[in-house]
Amino acid sequence: MSFSIFAMQFVSGLTRGMILFLIASGLTLIFGVARVLNFAHAAFYMLGAFFGYALWSELLPALGFWGSAIASAIAMGLLGLAMERGLLRRLYARGWPEQIMGTFAVIYLIADLVRVTWGGQYYSVPLPKPFTGSVPMAGAPIPSYYVFLIVFGFVIAGVLWWLIYKTHLGAIIRASTSSREMVSALGIPLPPLFAGIFAFGIFLAGLSGTISSPVGSIALGMDMEVLIECFVVVVIGGLGSLPGALLGAFIVGEVYSFGVLILPQYAISFVFIVMCIVLIVRTQGIFGVPGEERLE
């Protein structure tokens, strides 16, 4: 394997990993704070991609790609807020089986909405300006949009780290994951906190769906393609751990990228093999805390 091919595969894996991190970070925030396994998370990723495409191509083309991406993400966040207040708030005290069934129902509702509105066609979005060219790296041309996605993913990771560890809100969030009773005793209302975190997590899912559309196709079923990988990411990194989500996304992205190069038909199998190895060595994940479900 030449160094240029290695560089191309590494950047491709890192790009894939950053997209997975953008989705999984919202999933991790929601689980760490509200302790909800939101199986519908990737459905909002798909809906965000379709709605962003509709805004860009038909509804509000004056917004351009970037404006459509932000508008679509905000719309997904509002839908997530409605889902939290209308559905999940009634299921918090009823355990994971009811929560899982409720979020699975949302998956089918969104899938039917997409099918009725956009059908089963494939849609594509051209590379947005100013990222239509390439960047030379180790003798290989790397699409500049890949570089943008990587940088953007690290920026989001930095913003989330600052939010969780360096702000008063972050202190409340971390406290609520450790002891809800203590936070309530201090007079801090938990329902608005849960609603805000859920909406923000869905916002990230919708944003990742739109900004990742230029590097792939937009199609019905794209949510299921990433849902399993996102759960693999959070399992490898540790449930509720943001650093774990970042590391898990990097591992999954690189293992898949080089797996495609070595044995394409078994690329996704390599990802599951790595997950099994991690769980055998450390059942709670790399950054997970044994017996605890909290945001680290």
pLDDT digits 0-9 by tens, 266-284 = 888 999 999 999 999 988 8
Query: Is 286 part of any domain?
Result: no
- Whether residue 201 contacts residue 40, with contact meaning beta carbons closer than 8 Å, is answered with no
- CA separation for the pair 30, 144 (Å, rounded): 32
Tell me whether residue 105 is in a domain: yes
Cis peptide before 130 (omega within 30 of 0): yes
* H/E segment holding residue 106: helix 96-118
Distance, in Å, from the CA atom of 170 to the CA atom of 160, rounded to the nearest integer, reads: 9
Mean pLDDT over 63-82 rounds to 95
The answer, yes or no, to whether residue 186 has pLDDT greater than 90, is no
CATH number of the domain bearing residue 80 = 1.10.3470
pLDDT tens track for 199-217: 999 999 999 999 999 998 8
Q: What is the pLDDT of residue 294?
A: 54
The confidence score (pLDDT) of residue 295 equals: 57
How many domains does the chain fold into?
Answer: 1
Task: Give the per-residue pLDDT at 93.
Answer: 73
pLDDT in tens, 123-175: 999 999 888 888 888 777 889 999 999 999 999 999 999 998 889 888 888 77
* Ranges 10-24, 82-96, 246-260: which has the least confidence: 82-96
Residue 131 lies in a domain: yes
**Full residue range of the structural domain in which residue 216 is found:** 3-281
The tokens describing 169, both together, are 């809100």
Q: Is residue 294 part of a domain?
A: no
pLDDT of residue 118: 92
Residues 10 and 53: their CA atoms lie apart, in Å, by 29
- Taken in order 257, 268, 288, 170, the sign of the CA dihedral is positive
For residue 296, is it within any domain?
no
Q: Is the pTM of this model over 0.85?
A: yes
| Angstrom distance (rounded) from CA 254 to CA 248 | 10
With residues binned 3-state (H G I as helix, E B as strand, rest as coil), the percentages for the chain, rounded to 5, are 75, 5, 20
Helix (H) or strand (E) holding 137: strand 134-137
Residue 253: inside a domain: yes
Q: Which of 42-51, 63-72, 183-192, 194-203 has the lowest mean pLDDT?
A: 183-192
Does residue 63 lie within any of the structural domains? yes
Does the residue 293 lie in any domain?
Answer: no
Tell me what percent of the residues of the chain surpass a pLDDT of 90: 50
Residue type, 240: G
Mean pLDDT of the chain, nearest integer: 88
**33 and 295 Cβ atoms separated by less than 8 Å:** yes
